[in-house]
Structure 1
């Protein structure tokens, strides 16, 4: 089995996305890279690295980038985290968290409409 090195998400505004992931989700910025065609922001969430990718030209359409369905973040108190999202006007995909036998989940969206999820093990 391979260990996930990072998850890359194409964004339209790296500053806006970097602010969202660090301020709203508490991720830590690790490093940045920029050249004439691309800007990359690497952020850390626990052991996972997320790479925010902003193309400066319309390379995304040429490249036909793949799609990431969502990123799930483990939380200890999902109700407190949902309240925090609501205070910051983050769009939630359900009115209330979904509950299964061993977990509680809530999907929400980031600045570019990317699907994100909080998961609390019960």
Structure 2
């Protein structure tokens, strides 16, 4: 095996902690593993899991710097979630008030996918396995 084993987690800095926490926990269904408030930094840190696997650290900071978040902006392009049935997940997200783009077909794999955004505009993808 090489020097790196796998991705350990993804860190996301949000602008409104309660809105983002609701989005990731109540709308997307992540499970809270740990939540701490760091007084010296005036910052929350929320550890989240999908299907029992630690995946995301959600942070809040006072006045975080803005950056472009379109899928074609330089830097991290998007965060993709594997799903069994993209259409059923789209229906569930839409029912929760989360807008999704039209379904696309990956030209190389033939797999179906779409994009939506978190409360701060971070591009998120649903990719059918």
1:9-48 equivalences under 5 Å are 9-36=12-39, 37=41, 38-46=43-51, 47-48=53-54
Could you say what the CA RMSD is over the residues aligned between the two structures, in angstroms?
1.7
4+ runs of 1 displaced by more than 2 Å?
none
Q: What is the TM-score of this pair, normalised by structure 2?
A: 0.78
Which residues of structure 1 form unaligned runs of 5+?
Answer: 62-66
1:34-73 equivalences under 5 Å are 34-36=37-39, 37=41, 38-46=43-51, 47-55=53-61, 57-58=62-63, 60-61=64-65, 68-73=76-81
Q: Distance in 1 between matches of 2:115 and 2:121?
A: 11
Q: Distance in 1 between matches of 2:54 and 2:34?
A: 14
SS in 2 for 1:89: coil
User: Which moves more between the two structures, 74-83 or 15-24?
Assistant: 15-24
Q: What is the TM-score of this pair, normalised by structure 1?
A: 0.82
**Of 85, 90, 98, which residue of structure 2 is paired with 1:82?**
90
